[in-house]
A and B are shown apart, each in its own frame.
Chain A
Amino acid sequence: MSGRKLIALWLFVVSVVVALMGFWFMATRASMDYWVMAGSLILISITCYLSGVHHYLTTKNRHGRYIILYGSVVLMVAGLSIYIPDVLDLRPWEIYTRIPSDFFFSFFMLIIGILSSYVSFRPFHNFTKEGAQSGAYYIIHLSIIFTLFPLFLIMFNIITRGMGGITWEFLTEDIVSMGEKGGVYPAILGTLAMISLTAIIVLPLGVGTAIYLAEYARKGLAVRVIRTAVNILQGTPSIVHGLFGYAFFVLILFNGQKCLLAGALTLAILTLPIVTRSAEEALNAVPGELRDASLALGATKWQTIKKVVIPPSMPGILTGTVLGIGRAAGETAPIMFTAVYFSGTGTPSGLLRPIMALPYHLLSLYRLVGYRDVEPQAWATALLLLIIVLGINLSAIIVREKYRQRF
């Protein structure tokens, strides 16, 4: 390996270590000395100078000047940071915040570390366009890692903190003393009852809409309007669904009584566009030749749809429905005004009776954190909710991957 590559590799390794240290200090809020940061930054900038000078000495061209410039900027950041006060008090500007110097130091280490590791690809590839590509790919890989990072963080925290709270008692008993004791049995049953009812309501409507759009619809104003309506419905915020469910189902249909049916109807409206879209996709995946063959044999359009188009698209339709149900199981806003109470409803006892549900239970417990000792229960509820919702979604995704590419 040539000296140029060695120096670039050294720059990369040092930068990554500095970035990780910065990240670690930020995460743990460790107290930081100015010289820890300054030392690492000076090391980085010296390596940059070394790389630039070495490049000039070996090739006599001046591509290396940018990396020397970059090294100087790093040096400047390191030098100027000494003027950051121990605590930057923003209160004179009415911002009630005090940012400790530790935070700035770790933050600079993180940012400069990432930047420098990106820069190190240029000298490694002798300042050619391949260097630009490797650098860009490096940043792109970092962004996919940072995209998935929250997922792992959330999973890790919920599982480690929620595991302890899930006991037999928690799963099988009613809520006792505002959630400090007892369990969530009625809420589990409530959630299950509500999503089953939602599925029964939404399946015919969603699939019907999809069949119309995929099989019958021709270009025209009516179809455009229907499509736009489905899209708007898909984007509609869940709290608006909740308001509508309250204004229409609860106040007008059910005389002001929150109930299971009102919640399920609201959730059905929320999931309708999800089911419609995936069902339409599934129907569109069935090749036209099959339809033509059936029609040519003298079958009517409806017979063709019933016997030829729907059976092979069934897995796709069911996947879409299950995905919609997974969404419905975790929603709080649409049911909080239409169906649920925190306690006292018992297990679901009828379509026109209110219920308890897990998402709303978690919200209510969170509101009690700080007043009562319910945090372990809240974590356990979050874990349970996550298991139910992700379990539903995962099964849908597995089925979809399995039945993909049938045609």
Chain B
Amino acid sequence: MVSRRVKDKLVHLTFFGIAALSVVIISFIFIFLFIRAYPAIDTFGTGLLGSEWNVSRNKFGLLPAMYGSVFVAVGALAVAVPLGLGAAIYLSEIAPERVRMILKPLIELLAGIPSIVYGFIGAILLGRYLYDTFGMRGVNSFLAAMLVLGIMALPIIVSMSDDAMKAVPKDLKDASLALGATRWQTIRKVTIPAAISGITSAVIMGMGRAIGETMAVMLIIGSVMKMPVPFFNVFDTGNTLTALIAVQMGESHGIIINVLFTAGIMLFTIVAVMSVISDILQTRTTEKFEGKR
């Protein structure tokens, strides 16, 4: 018969073991991606950062896909940030409690729509609309991807910025109102500056989501391994790291698979750095208003 103290200690250890699993998983992801990527890194070295992707000439430069990922994410943010901020201000500062109770779950529902459905709708409806309107060469384009990704990044930006603005203490706002400022002046001069690190964190998370999004992008980006010409041409087709992996994994073998794992490592690293930055910013907000925990 084990004593209660020993049993309690064992339970403690078990839970620590389970919690440590997350750390193990992260390291496993990195290690196993690296093992599969190593042959490509070994063979091509910095050639993987080049701009030419040509299977027959054995050139596997990932630059076009990296550029595509960033380009699409920036475009998506240009759509999502202004709209998302407006919506977040509405939810946290203006909406009556009853309206908020309905709208917040609705926006979460928007986040729940599977990305393959976004991609399907984007390709069939938006892609065809843009094709018909602008006489493009095909239904795929950066523009369509940016619009769809912007809509997909919206819920995360709205809900995180809403949380950030809700966290601003009411005393600050009341003080501003008592000085005779209007509610809008208070929002602009008090609430938003106070919540700015939380809002930034929301924008970074939205960007991470846009860079990491796969299925929606792969159906509308065109998956052509080249830079857009000229580089800001939103009507051109291109590729992103995610779409490259998703499309090529099924069709390729040999060293290309290893190249794709290298792309996976790049993606993982970029997004991991972004979540760490976003996390630090968010902790800073909570510490600012609630004191260190």
Contact = CB atoms under 8 A, between A and B. Distances in A.
Interface of A: 29, 90, 93-100, 103, 129-130, 132-133, 136-137, 139-144, 146-148, 150-151, 154, 157-158, 204-205, 208-209, 211-213, 215-217, 222, 225-226, 228-244, 246-248, 252, 269, 272-273, 276, 300-302, 323, 326-327, 329-333, 336-337, 359, 362-363, 366, 369, 375, 378, 382, 385-386, 389-390, 393-394, 397, 401
A401 B245 contact: no
26 contacts: A96-B235, A136-B188, A140-B87, A143-B83, A143-B90, A144-B90, A147-B107, A147-B158, A157-B125, A208-B18, A215-B15, A226-B23, A229-B26, A237-B267, A240-B264, A243-B33, A272-B25, A276-B22, A301-B8, A331-B114, A332-B215, A333-B214, A359-B114, A378-B120, A382-B120, A390-B109
B25 to A, nearest CB: 6
Given A154-B113, A212-B15, A237-B212, A302 B8 contact: yes
Nearest to A367: B219
B117 to A, nearest CB: 5
B289 interface: no
The 5 closest A-B pairs by CB, nearest first: A330-B114, A143-B86, A237-B212, A208-B18, A235-B275
Nearest to A388: B114
Interface string B118-148: 1111011100010011111100000000000
A369 B29 CA distance: 35
B1 interface: no
Contacts of A222: 16, 20
A237 B33 CA distance: 14
Given A244-B29, A332-B114, 20 more contacts: A90-B235, A97-B136, A97-B235, A147-B87, A147-B158, A151-B113, A157-B121, A209-B21, A229-B26, A230-B22, A231-B275, A237-B211, A240-B29, A240-B264, A240-B271, A243-B33, A301-B8, A336-B250, A389-B112, A393-B109
B84 interface: yes
Contact of B205 (A93, A235, A302, A397): A235
Nearest to B243: A239
Contact of A229 (B22, B32, B33, B151): B22
- Chain A contact surface mostly: helix
Contacts of B83: 143, 146-147
Contacts of A330: 112-117
A333 B245 CA distance: 10
A242 B33 CA distance: 11
Interface in B1-24: 4-5, 7-8, 11-12, 14-16, 18-23
B154 A147 contact: yes
Nearest to A237: B212
B32 A239 contact: no
B18 A209 contact: yes
A137 B242 CA distance: 39
Contact of A144 (B28, B91, B136, B229): B91
A32 B240 CA distance: 37
B97 to A, nearest CB: 13
Give the one of B91, B129, B264 with max A CB within 10 A. B264
Contact of B32 (A99, A247, A394): A247
B274 A235 contact: yes
B134 A97 contact: yes
Give the one of A137, A157, A205, A244 with max B CB within 10 A. A244
Nearest to B158: A147
Given A147-B154, A148-B106, A300-B4, A133 B19 contact: no
A236 B219 CA distance: 21
Contacts of B89: 140
Give the one of A229, A230, A239, A276 with max B CB within 10 A. A239
Contacts, number: 287
A147 B84 contact: yes
Contact of B184 (A136, A141, A151, A215): A136
B233 interface: yes
- Chain B contact surface mostly: helix
A154 B236 contact: no
B268 interface: yes
A332 to B, nearest CB: 5
Contacts of B33: 240, 243-244, 247
Nearest to A240: B268
Q: How large is the interface on B (under 10, 10 to 19, 20 to 34, 35 or more residues)?
A: 35 or more
A97 B110 contact: no
A253 to B, nearest CB: 11
A209 B210 CA distance: 28
A212 B16 contact: yes
A148 B105 CA distance: 11
Given A213-B19, A226-B23, A386-B113, A333 B215 contact: yes
Nearest to B151: A150
B94 interface: yes
A237 B214 contact: yes
Contacts of B5: 300
Contacts of A239: 212, 214, 242, 245-246, 264, 267
A331 B113 CA distance: 10
B199 to A, nearest CB: 15
Given A133-B183, A147-B158, A247-B261, A272 B107 contact: no
Contacts of A369: 124
B89 to A, nearest CB: 5
A333 B5 CA distance: 46
B114 A386 contact: yes
A142 B86 CA distance: 8
B211 A216 contact: no
A236 B233 CA distance: 29
Contact of B18 (A132, A137, A150, A204): A204
B173 interface: no
B169 to A, nearest CB: 20
Given A140-B89, A212-B15, A237 B268 contact: yes
Contacts of B114: 329-332, 359, 385-386, 389
B185 interface: yes
